[in-house]
Amino acid sequence: MVNEKLQPKIKRMEKGEANFYTPEGVEYTIMKFYWKCLKCGLVWQTRHEAEECENREHKDSYQRMYGVTAIVNDRPVGGWIATFRAIRKEVL
């Protein structure tokens, strides 16, 4: 009998380019390992994204808000919304 809690949920993949942006909009690229969710096959730029894939119901993209200064009438004021997408989906 296999204890599912002890099974790995992610796997380190090959190195590839990862693009990032500063709050000023400056883009920079670094080389880093990609990470794959072993439950759905989505490959992400960061380990954290792969670890949280199940919590996001294995969707291939998600949004996160940064720099919000206030909430007015249930809407964020200031800041920006970043959309993160999986690099690819691999067959399990």
pLDDT per residue as tens digits for the range 1-41: 555 665 679 999 999 988 877 778 888 899 999 999 999 99
| Token code pair at residue 84 | 């993160």
Residue whose tokens read 């993209």: 61
Is residue 89 classed exposed, middle or buried when 0-12, 13-18 and 19+ CB atoms within 10 A define those classes?
Answer: middle
Instruction: Give me the percent of the chain exceeding a pLDDT of 90.
Output: 53
**Tens digits of per-residue pLDDT, 52-88?**
999 999 999 999 888 888 888 988 788 888 899 999 9
CA distance 66 to 47: 20
The pLDDT of residue 42 is 96
User: Which residues constitute the domain of residue 20?
Assistant: 4-89
Count the domains in the chain. 1
